[in-house]
Amino acid sequence: MKILILCKRIDLMLKNRLTFMKEAGIDVDCLSLYDYRFISGDETTFIEPESPLEFLEKRQRLRSLNRLWKRKKAVASLEAYDVVDLYKIGTNAAFLLSEVKNLAPRYVVTLDERHLTKSSLGIVNFLMNRVYKGAYRLLFETEIQKEIFTEAFGYEEKLTVIHYGIALFKEIEKLTDEELAGYAHAFDLAQTENIVYCDMSGSVKRQKSLLTALANFPKEELKRTTFILPMLFNDFETRQKIKAFLKGIDLDYLLLDGMLSPIQRAALFRLAHQTIVLSVTPPNDTLPSALFAKSRVYLYHIHDLDPIYRKKEIFIDDFKNFSLSAEETETSALMEDILKRNSEKTAEIFAPQNAIKVYLEALA
């Protein structure tokens, strides 16, 4: 099966998916409608579509007409495929349908957050319904997205959830105990003490709220605990606000605001005895990565957890049950078994090879 993915930009999840598919020997190409980058195998080229409407580029209100023309020309220049995935391109899909149908006998649509519910603009709903009606499958990243879309549009018979594969799983799995000890030393983390990984995503207010709650634990318990605070994906302003806030509370923490390699991130998940999650929205991979690494996970005021975790009977606790007492942080034989099962169940959903298998089944 030869697959073409049409996207606006190549986001992190799509980049990972392309990597997984190539590693599995799947014939897949990708065209970005933003910069006309065309990826085929290991080669990346740029399509340069010509447009008779180029003069409109200087007129802001008419610029979109020129871009639409160029996108149609770029898609039309490609060869035949078995299936096309319209990956989060929104209403662009409606204007490219004729070109897409000339390329492949069927197409699927990967939905983004903006098009899960109906728009206040009737024309947008008309265009998207036109796309949905002709689609072979409509693909979602979470069960919640699927539920929201179903309530708004229907099309139940076409809907499939494709959970994104987590690239970090490979790194987490291959770390040896000796390597892990080396990373613990490099990060100055004592493996004999309690290590808590805190997902520093979401708003500054939520991050401050979590840090305040942690600082209120008994001092004796805090003395034997180090909190990992990764701020790799936070903007500069957020980092500065959190750094200033930390000066006013008494916590032993490791704040990470520089670049980390995948193996370093994997080591941190493996080293953490407990993980506190602030966000479960893709592409945040904290929750599945922590579960796969057999860390005990707590959700901090989260109400949009993907139902797949419940369906798979994966044990995830609530922050109200979080404890730093020695009795709670020492892993019992029973808890070890639960965390092992968590890891196995999470792999069934998010391991790259499993995610790609479900994706291909949806396209077939």
- Residue 190, pLDDT > 90, answer no
Which residue has tokens 């004796």?
220
* Range 63-85 average pLDDT: 91
Of the candidates 270, 280, 272, 361, which has an alpha carbon nearest to the alpha carbon of residue 314? Answer: 280
Burial (CB count within 10 angstroms: exposed 0-12, middle 13-18, buried 19+), residue 88: buried
Contacts of 263 (CB under 8 A, 6+ apart): 171, 175
pLDDT, tens only, 237-256: 999 999 999 999 999 999 99
Q: 168-348: what fold?
A: Rossmann fold (3.40.50)
State the span(s) of the chain assigned CATH 3.40.50.2000.
168-348
For 57, which DSSP code?
Answer: G
- For the stretch 6-46, pLDDT in tens is 999 999 899 999 999 999 999 999 999 999 999 998 899 99
Digit-coded pLDDT (tens) for 311-358: 999 999 999 999 998 666 667 889 999 999 999 999 999 999 999 999
209 pLDDT exceeds 90? yes
**Spatial CA neighbour of 132 closest among 99, 82, 86:** 86
CB distance 242 to 208 below 8 Å: yes
User: How confident is the model at residue 327, as a pLDDT?
Assistant: 66
Q: How many CB atoms lie within 10 A of CB 306?
A: 22
Residue with tokens 């098009």: 115
**pTM confidence score:** 0.89
- From 116, 118, 117, select the one nearest 141 (Cα to Cα): 116
The pLDDT value recorded for residue 49 is 87
CA–CA gap between residue 77 and residue 125 (Å, rounded)? 29
Write down the CATH number for the domain with range 2-162.
3.40.50.11930
The CA-atom distances, in angstroms, between 319 and each of 41, 105, 198, 199, 299 are: 45, 49, 12, 13, 5
Counted residue by residue, the chain has a size of 364
Q: Where are the alpha helices (DSSP H) in the chain?
A: 12-23, 63-76, 92-103, 122-134, 143-153, 168-174, 177-186, 204-215, 219-223, 236-246, 262-271, 286-292, 308-311, 326-329, 333-350, 352-363
Average pLDDT (198-213) is 95
Judged against a pLDDT cut of 80, whether residue 60 lies above it is answered with no
Nearest to 105 by CA among 177, 176, 13, 1: 1
- Give per-residue pLDDT as tens, 243-294: 999 999 999 999 999 889 999 999 999 999 999 999 998 889 999 999 999 9
CA distance 276 to 82: 43
Burial 161-194 (b: 16+ CB within 10 A, else e): bbbbbbbbbebbeebeeeeeeebbeebebeeeeb
- What pLDDT sits at residue 332? 81
Residues 6+ apart with CB under 8 A from 223: 252
Per-residue DSSP letters for 91-115? THHHHHHHHHHHH-S-EEEE--GGG
Residue range(s) occupied by CATH 3.40.50.11930 in the chain? 2-162
Contacts of 219 (CB under 8 A, 6+ apart): 250
List strands edge to edge, sheet with 274-277.
253-256, 225-230, 194-198, 274-277, 296-299, 317-318
- Give the CA distances from residue 173 to residues 20, 264, 267, 289, 350, in Å, rounded to whole numbers and listed in that order: 16, 13, 10, 11, 13
For residue 52, what pLDDT is reported?
73
Q: Please, which residues have CB within 8 angstroms of residue 17's CB and are 6 or more apart in sequence?
A: 164, 165, 355, 356, 359
Q: Does the pLDDT of residue 195 top 70, yes or no?
A: yes
Peptide bond into 282 cis (omega under 30): no
